[in-house]
Amino acid sequence: MKAKGGKRTERGFGFDSYLSPFTWRYGSPEMRDLFSEVGKRARWRKVWLALAEGEHKLGLVTKAELDGIRSKAGREDVDVEAAQELEKTIRHDLMAELRTFAAQAGKGGGKLHLGATSMDIEDNADALIFLEAIGIIKSKLVGCLAESRKLVLKYKDTVCMGWTHLQPAEPTTLGYRIANYAQDLVTDVEFLDAVKGFVLGKGVKGAVGTSASFKALLGSDARVRELEDDVMIRLRLHAFEVSSQTYPRKVDFLILSALASIAQSCHKFGLDLRVMQSPAFGELSEPYGKLQVGSSAMPFKRNPVTAERMCSLARVAATAPLVAFTYASNSILERTLDDSAARRIVIPEAFLAVDECLTIYESLVRGLCVYPVMMERNLERFGPFAGTEAVMMKLAEKGMDRQEMHELLRNRSNEAWGEVMAGRPNPLLSILSEDRTISSKLSGAEVRRLLDPRGHVGDASERCESFVRKKVDPILARHARTGKHSR
């Protein structure tokens, strides 16, 4: 299973063994790399090097020892096969990596990990990984938002039926509906930014977080603080002021909650798209390749498989916060190992699931197929019903009893609904125009105007523009200034 330099062999990792779908099917290469064994161990070495550099500055590590450590601290020096072979005997993955690193570092190997406990290394490395992973997710979120912005403005005036309870309601515009999806993304960006502020390293505080080992080495509280500050500056990472053996596992719960929030946004958009792609609605569809196969049995099928995949992966991410809740809650006193195995699984897979969801989301928005003729068909069938409230209010203005008019319009609408369900054109205009009570107060032209669905979209168009200007553009501008994957 040699993985030196990131290379992978077949033994233990081929298709004749179980592979997680995230190993090769879902998630981006950059996200997989972050959570790979080589990626993780390379960051362990980065933390060990920062610790050695800080201890050199305080006289605990010589220049020659530091040079040996530094010479083998690179990603290319990681030898997973050697470490895993040693782990079979000692049954401790970090110690196996430490001994492998120490053997490579020559004289400096004897000073590696001086005063530290495993989580001084692992937790700081994890924080580095999480911040990079959050940067990838943030970048993809912003990409989805940028593509959504185009559609919000393009379709801000495109009237379509609104649906509540999966029943025709009042009309809206396609741009306004997409603005609602984009607003969820805005919330996710803000939530992710807030959670990112809680992603701190453990620092270097020893076995139970009291820095007892480092004080024994350095002799004073001030020098302990000096060492931790120096190490964290080198890592470009802030540390928790206090910790147990680990940083607070509540942080994992917050990170996974933010990822679950993004997954929920993806699922909502994906499910709505799947409904709209159904021929019963037929107004939108996901992009469909010319050679794409929809069904092995039914050649005509155009299943929304991409949106379905996004929804399926979103549900996986949605379960992650519960796992973090349980292990964070069950970390008794200064630490138990309830978290270890679960964290190895749930954190990488949640990031990879959301990473894939956002890749899909952006592709769906960019390639969204819109069918105006189907929108018009639905407006013709159901749009006039939306005008009954306007008719009722106008009749009330002209002195009619509002409650009586509500009952009258309900009965007349039911007549028209029966015709629509029989496959005939919506006759509501003629039914209301010919009703003596209504025609005594309103002309046929007035009824026609009041029933026109295009007159009942309120300020949807202006709201689209305002939303883009106030909420979306500032996020895009900030992201452009700070750069991709910025921490």
One domain, residues 237 and 102: no
Final residue of a structural domain among 54, 86, 114: 114
One domain, residues 412 and 440: yes
CA 320 to chain centre: 12
Residue 252: CB atoms within 10 A of its CB come to 27
Report yes or no on 225 lying in a domain.
yes
One domain, residues 40 and 162: no
Report yes or no on 257 lying in a domain.
yes
Averaged over successive runs of 10 residues, the pLDDT of the chain (487 residues) comes to 44 74 93 96 98 97 97 96 94 96 95 96 98 97 98 98 94 98 98 97 97 97 98 97 96 98 98 96 87 61 88 97 96 94 96 98 96 96 92 94 95 95 94 94 94 92 98 95 57
Helix, strand, or coil here: 171?
strand
CATH number of the domain enclosing 394 = 1.10.40
One domain, residues 416 and 316: no
Cβ-contact 203, 124 below 8 angstroms: yes
Q: Which amino acid is at 442?
A: L
Report yes or no on 336 lying in a domain.
yes
CATH number of the domain enclosing 215 = 1.20.200.10
One domain, residues 274 and 396: no
One domain, residues 151 and 60: no
Structure tokens at 217: 């080495």
- When divided into structural domains, the chain yields a total of 3
Write out the catalytic residue numbers.
165, 295
One domain, residues 105 and 184: no
Residue 21: CB atoms within 10 A of its CB come to 14
Nearest CA to 357 among 80, 72, 27? 27
CATH number of the domain enclosing 66 = 1.10.275.10
One domain, residues 324 and 201: yes
Q: Residue 373, class by beta-carbon neighbours within 10 Å (0-12 exposed, 13-18 middle, 19+ buried)?
A: exposed
pLDDT of residue 288: 80
- End-to-end Cα, the chain, rounded Å: 33
Final residue of a structural domain among 114, 139, 172: 114
One domain, residues 327 and 413: no
Cβ-contact 151, 235 below 8 angstroms: no
Q: Which domain holds residue 22?
A: 4-114
Contacts 24+ apart (CB under 8 A), 154-160: 155/370, 156/460, 156/461, 156/464, 156/465, 157/461, 158/370, 158/372, 158/375, 159/375, 159/379, 159/453, 159/454, 159/457, 160/283, 160/375, 160/378, 160/379
One domain, residues 125 and 99: no
One domain, residues 254 and 135: yes
Residue 407: CB atoms within 10 A of its CB come to 10
One domain, residues 163 and 280: yes
Bridge partners of 284? Answer: 370
Report yes or no on 473 lying in a domain.
no
Final residue of a structural domain among 114, 134, 164: 114
b (16+ CB within 10 A) / e for 214-240: bbebbeeeeebeebbebbbebbebebb
Cβ-contact 332, 245 below 8 angstroms: no
Pairwise CA distance, residues 289 & 367, whole Å: 11
Report yes or no on 15 lying in a domain.
yes
Report yes or no on 296 lying in a domain.
no
Pairwise CA distance, residues 202 & 199, whole Å: 10
